[in-house]
Amino acid sequence: MIKNGVTIDQTFAEAFPMRATRIIITAHNAKWAMIAATAMTGFATSVIACGCEAGIEREMGPEETPDGRPGVAVLLFAMGGKTLAKQLETRAGQCVLTAPTTALFSGLQEGDPIPLGKNLRFFGDGFQISKKISDRRYWRVPVMDGEFLTEETTGMVSAVGGGNFLILAESQSEALAACEAAIEAMKKIPRVIMPFPGGVVRSGSKVGSKYKALNASTNDAFCPTLKGQTHSELSPEIESVMEIVIDGLTQEDIQKAMRVGMEAVCALGAPAGIRRISAGNYGGKLGPFLFHLQEIMA
């Protein structure tokens, strides 16, 4: 398959099951909602070392949020429910409770309930107040700028992590420009995040390593400087490869994001130095979710 001079490899991205939750942070204005969300999603690029993968799904207008203020929706993903609950509570307590004017709400009503403000309320030292509206409980915690309002729980659902595609280009600057175009398009798709810095990862990995202590290592087949030293997947003109990783609440969400992202790359095409689109295919070693590139782009 070739689109605008870009070859779409006949391969698949291999992804794995995760647990996920969605929360909504609101504040006095959009600036402070985003500051809290950015702090909460820091150091959350990969479960390999960060404990969770997290990112900003989208900004929300006052008409969309529970308290009628500007907000930001955040998604968090982890390999298990206990880890996800712990990461959520720690990040909410250190990054949202502490941020001026913020409030914290559930962004998912379905799934299994996990604590959101259920334990954060104890920061109120006995002065916290509970209020139940319909079947949803909220806590008002006194803080120095007024009150911190938080919903007691949020929902946790089964999700998918590790959807991906690789952009192969003639130069580093061209690969990065293509990634930036893809990310801008993918940000418009709800229920997904691209957890790496700016949505892009240059240190793509393979499963396993020659060093026993590591369960992942550099994807040498796609490293341009190793063309003569390993079984390379790169033709002579390819001098830079970058990867975009996608986590989503469902397979369909990831497929939508991958499609618009790859379409944005192909729109730049061969005139912009883009030669191929490939994916992290690990031969079934990584996970059961397979995203076939050519089927997605058909």
98 Cβ neighbours under 8 A, 6+ residues apart? none
Tokens linked to 231? 């079984």
Contact 119, 89 (CB under 8 A): yes
Rounded CA gap, 211 and 111, in Å?
39
Give pLDDT, residue 227: 95
Question: C-alpha dihedral over 88, 93, 95, 99, to 10 degrees?
Answer: 140
- Residue-wise DSSP of 146-208: EEEEEESEEEEEEEEEEEEEEEEESSHHHHHHHHHHHHHHHTTSTTEE--SGGG-BSS-EEE-
Q: What is the mean pLDDT of residues 128-141?
A: 95
CB atoms within 10 A of CB 51: 19
The proportion of the chain whose per-residue pLDDT surpasses 90, expressed as a percent, equals 94
Contact 138, 131 (CB under 8 A): yes
Give pLDDT, residue 187: 97
Question: What global pTM score does this model have?
Answer: 0.95
Give pLDDT, residue 76: 98
Confidence band for 82, pLDDT divided at 50, 70 and 90: very high
Give the chain's domains with CATH numbers. 2-15+160-297 (3.30.70.520), 18-157 (3.30.70.520)
Q: Is the pLDDT of residue 284 over 80?
A: no
79 Cβ neighbours under 8 A, 6+ residues apart? 18, 19, 47
Q: What's the longest Cα–Cα distance across the chain?
A: 67
Give pLDDT, residue 138: 98
